[in-house]
Structure 1
Amino acid sequence: MRSRTILSHAKVPQNLPFLLGNYQYTPLPSPTSIRLLELVPSEDQRVVQCSLRAFELEDAPLFFALSYTWGNPLMRLKSTIAFPKNSHTLNTVPNLSASDPDNGIFSQIYGEPESSKSSRRHSVFCDGRIIKVTSNLKDALRMLASSITSQSPSPTYYWIDALCMDQQNILERNAQVAKMAEIFKKAQNVIVWLGKEDEYTMDALTTIEKVSAVPEEAWSSVPYTSFYDPIQSSTYQRPDLSYHNWLGFIALINRPWFKRAWAMQEIALAKSATVVCGDKTFPWEKLSRTLSFIKASKWYHHLQTEKLRHVKSLQKNAGQYKRILQSKLDVGVGPVYLNATRLKLSKIDSTDPNEQNQKPPLRMLIDTHRFSKSTDPRDKVYAFLGLADRNMAPFRSQPNSLVPNYNLSVQEVYLETARVLMTSYRNLSLLSHVEDPSQTRIPNLPSWVPDYSVKLDPYPLRYRGPSYWKASGNLKWEPNIFSMANGELELTGYHLDTIDQTSILQNESDDPSASWASIVKLALSLDLPYPNPGNHNKSPGRVEVLWRTLTTDIYNKIYPAPPKAGSLFIDYILNLQIRHRLTPWSSSDEFQPHHSPLSESIYPEWRTLLQLEPMESFYSLGKYRERLATVVESMFNGTYSPIGLAQLQHEFDQSGGKRRRLFKTKEGYLGTGARSLREGDEVWILHTAGVPFVLRPQPNGHHRLIGESFVYGVMHGEMQGLSLPRRQITLE
């Protein structure tokens, strides 16, 4: 106790750790005990003093749990724009490495997770000894200590992972991580520390206050378009907020805490939660109502800086949000999913049977929160174990699987997770959750094991319609758990064909028409009649095969896509033609006819494609000319609007957009798949797989997974009519 008194009145010398020594953890007395931290009041706010005591979790005194991020808690922006000389922005934006993969756009980055040793630069005095903590935890401890006075009638206890667990003791860490769900359930309150305030915080808090005050029964009456039209505010209860207020909210919601993997468990299981940002405090329920309103009104579509930067009032007066508007930020799915999971779990113990919910299965939690981040990549699995329903797969058949074990490598944890999930569900749907090979970060992972440390982009095709496709029919798969444990996945399947042509993606060429030129070239190379292994009573032309493949044959959640989508595709071609042909003459200053048109070698050959259609076809050149005349006339009359193409563009984006590559096979199938696919890759239909997969043959006779695919004409078991030989293959 004397050391605390001395420290509270003296300046802390730089060599004090050598004088006092580092804190030495005493082993916990039992497997069911935890440590709790008591903060000791100090006259010097710069000095944090505390004490650690062990308790049985069941008999522990009332305590609070802290939820925070170890690294930099603030949203940070960096520019990847090449600014012109003398640009004033050049002096306010950090330099960018020339190797940055996002070169050419502004990108949002988060504080890199600080390593457990190099980032712990600040001293905390615990029972007369030194414990090193990160900058953000130091700030959080000072915030907590400031609320404690020496006149407090009883000790105030906290559970904080970095201090209450001996991070260097792997066995203890394993046991305590497995107990974290119980700890956060037991806590009287969870304190969410978002970090210090910044220049955007007040606008964010204004937004939360006003939106959370809108009654839930009024949410459905708030028009979707009213976000940009506050004039009608007298007719419904619309939150009266400025665009600056909303930008402040976007900035707050993009703080790293909202993408923490552990935040999901910490907030979802909390009896109650309090959010603290600097010296501002508000209950989680207000943020929850704000997020629920945004979801119900679908205003999250508007809350994107890429859209808000076009608002005239913001263009004239961006104020402190100039850099925010130049970035690529949105509300995102993270906070919405975080809140939705908490609301779902809060109903599990409800006495009203209509309100009761089951816990989500582990597979759903891992897939839904794939976007989340963690300092330790293994936590992208471990963070969700405490939330998962133990009565569902994989625990129903493998109750002792996936126990936190930090002695295992990241590769071992991810391999075991994939093995357990695939053998529990006994299908290959997990293969659709393997990221494009170019995105994998964890080295030496088998090609069929998802790298959970990276987000999945694009989403699996099954999210386009999970009940639509059954490429393998009813064929079954029996997993070989022994070979899987060694990193090899033994499969049974059919080699449908080999890829011989591929398209150019939109971001792979400086010319805006190059991608479409390559796509049209693929369509022109198709032989007719198109392969028909299912003996369907139709023979689609090249244009129809093309647009149905580009949309995965889905339009506005309808499968197969209605003819209306084909009509819109003709209009889409018209708009592409206008855009591509007029681009060389476009100028921000004046019309300049001396510019040269695009080279015909990279211009899409739409005319040739349409000429090949039969005269009676809806996609024939004659029908196209009729539609062109109608469109041009409506343009002169001022009645034409391409707004109807928005849904078709949405389908293109969801089906692949810039992230999936179109391909043609030797036998004339058209498909779309992973951006990393290339000529010579093989298209396979595998037992129990809903969609075909692109595999790359290896010199040793094995294959590597490149990704899932949509192949027009073979998505419903039609390949069984081809009499293809069944083969046993191994993915490595």
Structure 2
Amino acid sequence: MRLRTLLSDVRVTQNLHFLLGNYKYDPLPSPACIRLLEIIPSADKRIVQCFLKPFELDTAPSFQALSYTWGSPALPISRATSASSRTRRLQASSTLPSFSNSDDIGLQHFQQEPEYNGRTRRHSIICNGRVMQVTANLKDALQMLANPVAPRKSVIPPRYYWVDALCVNQENILERNDQVARMAEIFKRARSVVVWLGKEDEYTADALTTVERISEIAEEEWPLIPYTSFYEPARAPHYDRLNLTYHNWLGFIALINRPWFKRAWVVQEIALSKSAFIVCGSRAVEWEKLSKTLSFIKSTKFYHHLHTEKLKHIKALRRNPGIYKRLLRSKLHVGVGPLYLDATRLKISTIDQSGTQERNQMPPLRMLLDTHRFSKSSDPRDKIYAFLGLADRRMAPFRSQPNALTPNYNLSVQEVYTDAARVLLTSYRNLSLLSHVEDPSSRRVPNLPSWVPDYSIDLDPYPLRYRGPSFWKASGNLVWEPNVFGLGNGELDVQGYRLDVIDHTSVLVGESEDPSASWASIVKLALSLELPYPNPSNSRKNPGRVEVLWRTLTTDIYNKQYPAPLHTGSLFIDYILNLQIRYRLTPWSSTDEFQPHHSPLSESIYPEWRTLLQLEPPESPYCLENYRERLTTMVESMFNGTYSAIGLAQLQHEFDQSGGKRRRLFKTRGGYLGTGARSLREGDEVWILHGAGVPFVLRPQENGNYRLLGEAFVYGVMHGEMQGLALPRRHITIE
């Protein structure tokens, strides 16, 4: 009673520690123990009172686990963001951890972040009669657990909860190592998982309306909803059952872009849960409904439409954006991250229901690391550790190295990433991991060997092997012979053949003020090709420059067909026509009056399409005469109002997936055309490495070693054709 009276008189919670003292952790009684949190109801909902108690995990009472984000849970574009707050963020950015100034990155670099990101523990709760500091979002979550919302009100709330920030002594590295290694078991034991997305905002109602309505549609009806019905619902008889507005969809985009969905740890927390509830402010929904919504979006491919860059052009939203005016300028979309998150849960849930015999058939670690590369973690080491508990221990790398990659927060980020790469390379005994190394310009962690992926960042673009059904084997059946000793020293010894040296490269979009510069450089590369194109396989194919160009730009894949069907070339001609129209009309003003600018485009960098087409033989489908006929047909259909460029959307998608703005076109001295890392330059070398499915671009160093720039697609040498070239085999070291 005296404590309650004392607390009621305290208005500033940060002064509580002067009255009660700070909480101090007692050591866990045994390695098999965990702590569970008991929340005590309080008349004053602003005050959180709780107890931490140790239990043996095997005999622990029923508990729920909390899944949340340590930092701010809100969408970054919330209405609270103002000019002054943005200024404070810019000023605070000078205190952010700088990877370039540290050789050894440890946890401290990621926990001492500026206050604006919400990770600072500034809020007090009462734990075991002492004061414990927590983040604002965690305090909100604890208050929610103490006062359940529907549909959780219909479930008898448990007495105990497991919350990582409180139940694990984060300052004790040995305890942290042990508890992190046991998190998978903890979440399997939990009765259910409560997902706390943070307080609701102005978009939450629309978001949950979308989830509720989609979850009511029977799965067998999904194929009856056409892809285009998103924009033309009147033409889809089943779509009207959704009764969703564009505002509802925008609300869903806002919800799915909350930081929680990007956390690395939530994959394990959701995948292993027996059941889960999503709570946002005072609203709650079962995870199964969100799961069904995500499956629907994936099945109908509506995620292609759910991008603010596309939605902002819809007439109805231009006229009445409502509360979504700022959101429409945010470039947010429903990415693959939430889809992969739910797919992982569904895969593991299916296994669980099939019987105890297949209970441990989890995904392999390599698949988890590749699939969830998009995820974020405040401690970059968790990009590896967060997936260890989900991985099948009977598969690589644990089948041959059972004690590999145990959580150890005494190791630096460089050590953890290098060790992970070494273990995966030696267990799979091929070089496919090298395709997951990002462009050098994107790397954040310094002093990583160039062959080690920087898992702290997204991989963009994704590896070429994800393009489609093609199984490339550039090295044929040649096998990589690993040097385990060299790997231990950060050096990757490889065997292979130097295919050629790069002598010309393209300009990427954004590298020139002139919008036509990129395509102009691409056309020049095509014009510089000597015919016949190199034919190491001695096939009867004799492609012209235009065909080599579009097959290289698409990695010879169209709509998951390999090689791309011939009609892709016809689409490419239409694409050229659209580019011509766009660039020729660019000089004309669309704001003041329809008057030409004085200087249209720099003719020196205007794409020489005409010259390229003139070089095609008369029998070529890409010759200038056929181009003119197609132009006439297109202009006539434009006048008749029957022309539609919708067919080019798939081709544009193929360009984007093949590399788009993120891979650079190059030509080699021997006349090969290919695409590779945007950091490549003249003088870099193209190699076919044993045990690799695709070629790689390497940069020679003064000491005779090489550094990896990234994978490449080289037209004509993707299926072991180089074995007929009689190139000398070499042993080299990538550092």
Query: Could you tell me the TM-score, scaled by structure 1's length?
Result: 0.92
**Is 2:601 aligned against 1:598?**
yes
**Is 2:510 aligned against 1:529?**
no
C-alpha distance after superposition, 1:327-382 (max 9, x if no partner)? 11111111111111111111112247999893111111110010000111011111
How does 1:692-703 map onto structure 2 within 5 Å?
692-703=695-706
Using the TM superposition, give the Cα deviation of residue 21 of structure 1 relative to its aligned residue in structure 2, in angstroms.
2.8
Call closer, same or farther: CA 1:652–1:14 in 2, change over 3 Å: closer
How does 1:213-362 map onto structure 2 within 5 Å?
213-231=216-234, 238-351=241-354, 358-362=361-365
Letter in 2 for 1:341: T
Equivalent residue number for residue 172 of structure 2: 169
Letter in 1 for 2:58: E
Call closer, same or farther: CA 1:25–1:259 in 2, change over 3 Å: same
8 Å Cα contact 1:431/1:708 also seen in 2 = yes
SS class of match (1:348):
helix
8 Å Cα contact 1:347/1:355 also seen in 2 = no
How does 1:676-687 map onto structure 2 within 5 Å?
676-687=679-690
Call closer, same or farther: CA 1:62–1:686 in 2, change over 3 Å: same
8 Å Cα contact 1:258/1:335 also seen in 2 = yes
Equivalent residue number for residue 44 of structure 1: 44
More off after superposition, 253-262 vs 352-361: 352-361
**Is 2:613 aligned against 1:610?**
yes
Structure 2: runs of 5 or more not aligned:
94-108, 150-154
Using the TM superposition, give the Cα deviation of residue 527 of structure 1 relative to its aligned residue in structure 2, in angstroms.
1.5
8 Å Cα contact 1:543/1:610 also seen in 2 = yes
- Equivalent of 1:562 in 559, 565, 570: 565
Using the TM superposition, give the Cα deviation of residue 279 of structure 1 relative to its aligned residue in structure 2, in angstroms.
1.4
Distance 2:496 2:91 in 1: 44
Call closer, same or farther: CA 1:236–1:584 in 2, change over 3 Å: closer
Equivalent residue number for residue 141 of structure 2: 140
Equivalent residue number for residue 102 of structure 2: none
Letter in 2 for 1:43: A
8 Å Cα contact 1:472/1:688 also seen in 2 = yes
Distance 2:201 2:538 in 1: 64
C-alpha distance after superposition, 1:157-195 (max 9, x if no partner)? 111101100101111001100110111111112111111
CA RMSD of aligned residues (A): 2.7
Using the TM superposition, give the Cα deviation of residue 11 of structure 1 relative to its aligned residue in structure 2, in angstroms.
4.3
SS class of match (2:502):
strand
Using the TM superposition, give the Cα deviation of residue 462 of structure 1 relative to its aligned residue in structure 2, in angstroms.
0.8
Structure 1: runs of 5 or more not aligned:
80-88, 101-111
Using the TM superposition, give the Cα deviation of residue 553 of structure 1 relative to its aligned residue in structure 2, in angstroms.
1.2
Using the TM superposition, give the Cα deviation of residue 229 of structure 1 relative to its aligned residue in structure 2, in angstroms.
3.1
More off after superposition, 19-28 vs 519-528: 19-28
Letter in 2 for 1:200: Y
SS class of match (1:453):
coil
Call closer, same or farther: CA 1:559–1:117 in 2, change over 3 Å: closer
How does 1:72-471 map onto structure 2 within 5 Å?
72-77=72-77, 94=86, 115=112, 119-147=120-148, 156-231=159-234, 238-351=241-354, 358-465=361-468, 467-471=470-474
Equivalent residue number for residue 486 of structure 1: 489
Query: Could you tell me the TM-score, scaled by structure 2's length?
Result: 0.92
Distance 1:590 1:252 in 2: 42
SS class of match (2:289):
helix
Using the TM superposition, give the Cα deviation of residue 9 of structure 1 relative to its aligned residue in structure 2, in angstroms.
5.5
Letter in 1 for 2:44: D
Distance 1:114 1:325 in 2: 32
Number of aligned positions between the proteins: 709
8 Å Cα contact 1:35/1:53 also seen in 2 = yes
**Is 2:67 aligned against 1:64?**
no
Using the TM superposition, give the Cα deviation of residue 667 of structure 1 relative to its aligned residue in structure 2, in angstroms.
1.3
C-alpha distance after superposition, 1:523-564 (max 9, x if no partner)? 111112221222121222211111111111112222222221
8 Å Cα contact 1:554/1:560 also seen in 2 = yes
SS class of match (1:508):
coil
Equivalent residue number for residue 105 of structure 2: none
Call closer, same or farther: CA 1:116–1:134 in 2, change over 3 Å: farther
Equivalent residue number for residue 103 of structure 1: none
Distance 1:71 1:293 in 2: 30
Distance 2:195 2:159 in 1: 17
Distance 1:605 1:12 in 2: 71
Letter in 2 for 1:273: A
Call closer, same or farther: CA 1:355–1:624 in 2, change over 3 Å: farther
Letter in 1 for 2:77: L
Equivalent residue number for residue 33 of structure 2: 33
- Equivalent of 1:662 in 662, 665, 681: 665
The share of aligned pairs that are identical, in percent, is: 73
8 Å Cα contact 2:613/2:623 also seen in 1 = yes
Letter in 1 for 2:604: S
Call closer, same or farther: CA 1:99–1:466 in 2, change over 3 Å: farther
Distance 2:377 2:248 in 1: 30
8 Å Cα contact 1:291/1:336 also seen in 2 = yes
Call closer, same or farther: CA 1:38–1:99 in 2, change over 3 Å: closer
Using the TM superposition, give the Cα deviation of residue 605 of structure 1 relative to its aligned residue in structure 2, in angstroms.
0.9
Using the TM superposition, give the Cα deviation of residue 507 of structure 1 relative to its aligned residue in structure 2, in angstroms.
1.7
SS class of match (1:642):
coil
- Equivalent of 2:634 in 614, 631, 636: 631
8 Å Cα contact 2:589/2:596 also seen in 1 = no
Using the TM superposition, give the Cα deviation of residue 114 of structure 1 relative to its aligned residue in structure 2, in angstroms.
5.9
Distance 1:632 1:45 in 2: 69
Equivalent residue number for residue 511 of structure 1: 514
